[in-house]
Amino acid sequence: MNRRRFLQTAAAASLGLLNLPVIGRAFAPSELADNSRFDIILVGTGYGSAVTALRLAEKGKRCLMLEMGMDWQASGMKFSRMAWAEKQSTWLKTHTIAPFGNYRVFPKFTGALDRIDFDQVHVYAGRGVGGGSLVNGGMSVTPRRDYFEEIFPQLDAQAFYDKYFPLANRELGVSVMPESYYRQSAYYQFSRVGEQEGCAAGYTVQKVPNVYDYDYMQKEEAGLVPKSGLQDEVIYGNNHGKKDLTKTYLKKALATGNVTILGLHRVDRIADQGDGSYALSVSQINTEGETVAQKTYHTGHLFLGAGSLGTTELLLKSHAEGTLPKLDGEVGRYWGNNGNTMAARAGLKHALGSKQASIPAAGLAKWTKGDDAVFAEIAPFPTGVDLRVALYLVINRVPKYGQLGYNAAAKRLELAWGKEHNAHMVRNAGQFLDKMNAANGGWRSTIFPKGVEPKICYHPLGGCVLGKATDAYGRLNRHKGIYITDGALIPASIGVNPYVTITALAEYCIEHVYQQDFA
């Protein structure tokens, strides 16, 4: 990222700011001292926060962004491959946390991928400047309009499909893999077989746009550039071809000169000051997760984009500890896993290829009105050996919502989500596998119990739902000056990979919030 950085000076050291990870030039180091006040603070640097920062910065507003993870570009460290994960792969754990194949151990480090474990669901989250954009597969899917209207009946769907979704896709750099390359690449044999078998089983093939640079990918295959998407780089980060937020929204936001990002800064608590402002208790940490400084920052405009779990936990924790006493009872409700279920088939008749790209390119859909609707991403299994095993990320409706709460005594976030919440997902994924096997041969793989793993969640949604915990534009009920920008706004499910929807919602919200609260 081409950006000017403030390096530490003797004056900064005297303020206790030595080694402060500062990105951007909106604020000088002296302005970032403990007990400073900022007109606008954004928590997190994922999709919602990145959109919001850019649009405010373009209007001349100075913004401070607080990110608990690292600035990976400044660190000089490479993201880990899936096949040989190192300490930078994983957030403050001593072992890898991939859905399977967890065999590496290492010292704790503020790595790229975190996993928050509840009894019946394990939620994955990206850590670092760029948030979830660092560790997702880049699948950029606009939801079906009829399902979007079902989820958000209060919104003007025409405006979203005419304006906000196209805007989000354009700014994110979304494109579709060239058909000629897809059809001939040895790295996408697995996906072509998945299409063929899906059609035989009665599913509709859906080509999936992505933010990966396909010109770069073709050079990868030709041996002209370092391999990335063709070398099992995905859930622990991608070193080259993927256009994560540091190459799109955040890059543009920092280029305005009106944004500063502080990495390794975790917001622990929000306190309502009673005068229209909020005090944030902030811990600066090192790469071992140890607190090296405690600070308080003040603001009158607080934008929360720490993800479904992060944003909701921060609000519920602050309420439980008495610093945000007026919190609406809607906060924590309508949580879901976007219907995420991993499924696997073994014994396939057709070779999938020993070379498999880590970037998905297609899915199989049967999105009906009933609760048996599925969208199955044809996922790679890049082991370097053709095991004749096919993986799918199956997305379902979520008819039974979960609820988040905060246990003040235990000091932890809790989730009411049991096997009954996953039951229809397990059933649907099993039916999907059985239909694929009946049409094509094969059996349910033993990688997962009965071929299905419902505990894996890549797409946590809900907790501060638009129009319920917030007003129509993401303003938190009962708290003027607090705004929600992330996946917490979406109730439980959107039917596809959700970040394009999160981006579009953030564009919609900040457009109206700026006009009404800042202009």
Question: Would you name the residues annotated as active-site residues?
Answer: 377, 459
Cβ–Cβ contacts within 10 Å for residue 419, how many? Answer: 10
Residues near 322 by beta carbon (within 8 Å), at least 6 away in sequence: none
Q: How does strand 443-444 pair with strand 341-346?
A: antiparallel
Are 268 and 282 in contact by the 8 Å Cβ rule? The answer is yes
- Strand ranges (DSSP E) for 12-163? 22-23, 37-43, 63-66, 113-117, 122-126
Helix 419-440 × helix 189-200 angle, to 10°: 90
| Six-digit token string for 150 | 């079902």
Neighbours of 173 (CB within 10 A): 18
H or E segment at 392? strand 390-396
Centroid of chain to Cα 453: 20
Q: How far apart are CA 498 and CA 125, in angstroms?
A: 13
d(CA 360, CA 345): 17
Identify which of 495, 498, 485 has the alpha carbon closest to the alpha carbon of residue 49.
Answer: 485
In DSSP terms, 427 is beta-bridged to none
Angle between helix 47-58 and helix 499-513 axes, rounded to 10 deg:
30
Which position has the token pair 């993401």? 474
Paired tokens of 2:
């081409």
Q: Do β-strands 341-346 and 452-453 pair in parallel, antiparallel, or remain unpaired?
A: antiparallel
From first CA to last CA, the distance across the chain in angstroms is 30
CA distance linking residue 324 with residue 334, whole number of Å: 21
* Radius of gyration, alpha carbons of the chain: 22
Instruction: Report the C-alpha gap between 121 and 92 in whole angstroms.
Output: 19
Provide the β-strand partners of residue 122.
117, 456
List all residues 6 or more positions away from 7 whose beta carbon is below 8 Å from its beta carbon. Answer: none
C-alpha torsion angle, residues 486, 292, 39, 1 (rounded to 10): -60
Q: Is the dihedral of CA 203, 206, 207, 209 positive or negative?
A: negative
Distances (CA, A) of 93 to 123, 286, 288, 307: 15, 14, 10, 20
